[in-house]
Amino acid sequence: AQTVTQSQPEMSVQEAETVTLSCTYDTSESNYYLFWYKQPPSRQMILVIRQEAYKQQNATENRFSVNFQKAAKSFSLKISDSQLGDTAMYFCAFMKSLSNSGYALNFGKGTSLLVTP
């Protein structure tokens, strides 16, 4: 079974500081994709960043970057220069293959991030 674990239910960071959210996963597949999604109070699911397992280079999107450690099955998200608008629930997700050529996101339980002034 493929599982995704986010060990920090809640985190807080001050504006302009840096915060790292942790995620570990378990899989027997050799090639796969990992994602971080953000869910603000509006409830909308927004893709933050994506990492392909066969790429050794860590993905970066503006203030968001990941530390992907394939051997350790770790996929942490770093948010630099935190902004009030970053306050949201953050979900780590693993893309798994299904029958019938299907695939789906397997989500962790999420980390609630609060950015304070």
Partner 1 sequence: NAGVTQTPKFQVLKTGQSMTLQCAQDMNHEYMSWYRQDPGMGLRLIHYSVGAGITDQGEVPNGYNVSRSTTEDFPLRLLSAAPSQTSVYFCASSPGSYNEQFFGPGTRLTVL
Which positions lie near partner 1, rule CB under 8 A? 4, 33, 35, 42-45, 47, 50, 52, 91, 93, 95, 97-105, 107-110
Query: Could you write out the DSSP letters of every residue in 41-104?
Result: TT---EEEEEEETT--SPPEETTEEEEEETTTTEEEEEE-S--GGG-EEEEEEEEEE-STT-EE
Cβ nearer to partner 1, comparing 69 with 97:
97
Minimal distance, residue 14 CB to partner 1, in Å: 26
CA–CA dist 59, 95 (Å, integer): 16
Minimal distance, residue 17 CB to partner 1, in Å: 26
Minimal distance, residue 72 CB to partner 1, in Å: 21
Cβ nearer to partner 1, comparing 18 with 44:
44
Minimal distance, residue 92 CB to partner 1, in Å: 8
Cβ nearer to partner 1, comparing 42 with 57:
42
CA distances from 19 to 11, 77, 85 (A): 9, 8, 14
